[in-house]
Amino acid sequence: MAWHALNAHETIRRLRTPLESGLTTEEAARRLAQFGPNQLAEARRRTFLQMVVAQLKSFVVILLIVAAVISGIISISQHEPLVDSAAIIAIVILNAVLGVIQESRAEQALAALRQLAAPEAQVLRDGRRQTIPARDLVPGDIVFLEAGNYVPADLRLLEAINLRIEEAALTGESIAVEKDATSLLQENAPLGDRKNTAFMGTLVVYGRGRGVVVSTGMRTQLGMIATLLQSMEEEETPLQRKLDQLGRTLGIAALVICGLVFLTGILQGGNILEMFMVAVSLAIAAVPEGLPAIVTISLALGMREMIRRHALIRRLSSVETLGSATVICSDKTGTLTQNAMTVTRLWVDGTFIEINGRGYVPEGEFTINGQPVDFNEYPAVLTALWIGALNNDAVLEVNPNNGENAYRVVGDPTEGALLVAAAKAGALPEQLQMAYPREDEIPFDSVRKRMVTVHAVRAPRADDASPFNETISPNVHVITVKGAPDEVLRLCRYYQDRYDQPQPLDEASRQRILQANDAMTREALRVLGVAYRVVPTLPEHTEPEALEHDLVFVGLIGMIDPPRPEVIPALQKATRAGIRTLMITGDYPNTARAIAEAIGLLHPHHQVLTGAQLDAMDDATLQHEVQRTDVFARVSPQHKLRIVEALKANEEIVAMTGDGVNDAPAIKRADIGIAMGITGTDVTKETADMVLMDDNYASIVAAVEQGRIIYSNIRKFVYYLISCNLAEIFIIFLPTAFGRWLFPVAGRVLSPLLPIQLLWLNLITDGAPALALGTEKGEPDIMDHPPRPPKEPIINRFMQIGVAAQTVAITAATLLAFSLGLRQDTTLAGTLAFVTLSSSELLRAYTARSERYPLLKIGVFSNRWMNLAVLSSMALLLMVVYVPFFNPIFATVPLTWEHWKLILPLIFLPAVVAEITKAVLGMRKVQR
């Protein structure tokens, strides 16, 4: 039988737990060995070998391995060193190692976040109350719950005193659930109705309780959902698909051209082995050996930058996906707002008082029409605040952190907001509680909609003023009431004017208060009414009827979870970038609308939809309505999945945030799933592609911007590498196919470059500048353009024109240099071709730093990594040419100044052509 269907006595009996003393240490250790630690098991991690194999699945990498094997066989057959094949295999290994290291680091960082989130538990063991790590809990442990605690395991409650638990992480319900330890439920009762049970990962927001552990770890409700999620398959990211497609295209083209060159050479009378070596050279030229490693390194650098922007990327390939996002689906609480209820407005005696400040920091100003409030003129303001702080069970904690005080509220956020507002006016809770110690209370409940506290009055110091306009006497008591304004007002006979004088509450005054309440609620404020009564002696029986009459109504206190200040500029940046932001919240429509309007998220002629309205729509209708809906309110996590599906059906690239376990399916289905690092559950973090370490929407936009920069940089070095490699293909292909006509002086089929020279070019000359392109800071207007079309290839039409222009320029320059050298010697010709090709590609790398901006505008030497790459590559090139040891290996000869004078104009030609191409393409784009 289910635990929630058993009474407390039967539950204790079945678990064999002594109620008075709890489990013994020995028995707890035995059960820990039997049931295992109380923690969610991670999805089965890939082994090191599996992670390495995953890095080798790319078509380009497979092609490189094949090329290395063939090159090795040829080298062995000719008794030559395995230089070419060893270099290719080294690149493949480097790529795999980098990928494995970065993904392992992401998992380690996530494990650190998980460790920070792991709570402790207060348990009864060996007859005494003690604190233990939550992972050491076992079935049968008796656990104590207090406001601010996370429930550490699934518990059958034994005691619940005003206990309310927020179960949004599990059920998606934003309103805290009142618990009742004595209720018995049907065995098939849904989770949300199990009032005698507390679930792992949920938060105690009010009251206290005691329960016995019935399930731990993966046997909890949280663990059951985690088990289901681990079976979901992952999709390839757009970058993975595009790079694999590019690799296949290059590989197939290389094989076709290699075959064509081999056959052409044979038909022209070339030696079979020599023609095969030429074909291998062409294969090496066709495949950008450094591309996989450079992509991996670029993504790793981007991942490091993401962490600096408070975003932890769990998979390298997900970095780029952010850059293509067209829609961000964001939670409201804590992401768009501060996740700190804040008193922003008071009303006393016909006057509205504004209060500023941020979060739970007790600093802020009180103003009326922009002017500071003189509390001597408005003492009733202090009275209202004092009542809110006394009629209160929350605690405002302060902890020093790096020389600054960090504040947090333990307890109900609404009551915490009242404490902070009182502290802003100079009253600390501890001081008020000493001056007015609580003697009795009637707790808040959802039926009465109010809370009552009774306080004795201790004689304060002479410089203290009474907030209740009575002579301070140790014989009097103060009754305070806080709750729904209409309910509190119904119990009042008087109201307090601005000077703290009670006045008779006539109908006109009553209507004035109700109108003020309506005005505040229309602004989506949560409004509480506060009242008091001073009595010489307490009634014999402190029943509600004896306390709640003839009250003095003091004022209205309005609060809201305000928007984060940084959200508004972040939203504006996202809008400029063509990215829609949708608010998806479990809060009420009026509150969601007010926040959306305040931050500029709700656009004209767009609407707010509720979960109930979603339920009434079929998928086709939702697919249409989602295009003109900016806010979804009162939705459950199940609705999130439907919203993601509707957006993806409209071919949107969706980023979805979430923190609760039930958010995980929508996060998994989104193109980029974003978990909250602070409030998110472990299951959600395991599911997500990205973990937001500060739960801030602005960090999402910053991550999107960084994703765009990363993708732009990847395009730049792919553009650079492809144009270089295509030129190298034609440099090998044209002399092989038409050499007798192009270079009649040679008298035979001749390749301007050797395989080892091509490999040196691809790994050293091309690789270092390409990697430096991955460190570019991005175009200054990168967030002023709409997201790229999801189906757009990495090399788009404009870039294809640039590739063609560069291929022609580099090929022409290199072959012309080779032709000039043939007049003297074939080795000199090869050296001139090698130096011209290497140097022109190095200079051309500078022009690839921007797709649209001229080199002079972005600064010729503004990328220090590019300067270092070009200088080091040039130094290595000169070493190959001028160090005698390398001359026979690379078939080079030292060049004289006369030689340099011949090829310098050719070296600069591709860079000049690149700048002219950018200018022409830019003008055509503007005209269109």
DSSP SS3 for 788: coil
Distance in Å from the first CA to the final CA of the chain: 72
E strand map for 411-476:
438-442, 450-456
The C-alpha atoms of residue 489 and residue 510 are separated, in whole angstroms, by: 8
- Amino acid, single-letter form, for residue 714: I
Which of 626, 625, 629 minimizes the C-alpha distance to 601? 629
Label the pairing between strands 366-368 and 351-355: antiparallel
- Cα dihedral: 185, 190, 191, 195 (round 10): -30
The C-alpha atoms of residue 684 and residue 689 are separated, in whole angstroms, by: 10
The C-alpha atoms of residue 585 and residue 175 are separated, in whole angstroms, by: 12
Quick one: tokens of 172? 């998606």
Which of 771, 776, 910, 774 minimizes the C-alpha distance to 837? 910
Chain centroid offset of residue 566 CA: 16
Find where tokens 């003095």 sit: 552
Q: Which residues of 639-666 are buried (b: 16+ CB within 10 A; e: fewer)?
A: bbbbbbbbbbeeebbbbbbbbbbbbbbb
DSSP 819-854: HHHHTT-HHHHHHHHHHHHHHHHHHHHHHTT-SSS-
Which of 749, 672, 669, 741 minimizes the C-alpha distance to 704? 672
The C-alpha atoms of residue 335 and residue 698 are separated, in whole angstroms, by: 8
The H-assigned helical ranges of 354-497 are: 379-390, 413-424, 429-435, 485-490
- Asked if residues 580 and 628 have their Cβ atoms less than 8 Å apart, the reply is no
Would you name the residues annotated as active-site residues?
A: 331
**In this structure, what are the phi and psi dihedrals at residue 788, rounded to the nearest 5 degrees?**
-65, 150
Q: Distances in Å between the alpha carbon of 647 and those of 263, 625, 650, 664? A: 52, 10, 5, 17
The conformation of residue 333, written as its DSSP 8-state character, comes to T
Q: Which residues of 112-130 are buried (b: 16+ CB within 10 A; e: fewer)?
A: ebbeebeeebbbbbeeeee
The C-alpha atoms of residue 731 and residue 585 are separated, in whole angstroms, by: 60
The C-alpha atoms of residue 846 and residue 856 are separated, in whole angstroms, by: 10
Which of 636, 626, 628, 622 minimizes the C-alpha distance to 587? 636
The C-alpha atoms of residue 469 and residue 554 are separated, in whole angstroms, by: 12
The C-alpha atoms of residue 171 and residue 153 are separated, in whole angstroms, by: 16
Kind plus residue range of the DSSP H or E element containing 778:
none
- Asked if residues 742 and 818 have their Cβ atoms less than 8 Å apart, the reply is no
Q: What is the 3-state secondary structure (H, E, C) of 17-42?
A: CCCCCCECHHHHHHHHHHHCCCCCCC
Find where tokens 């209740």 sit: 468
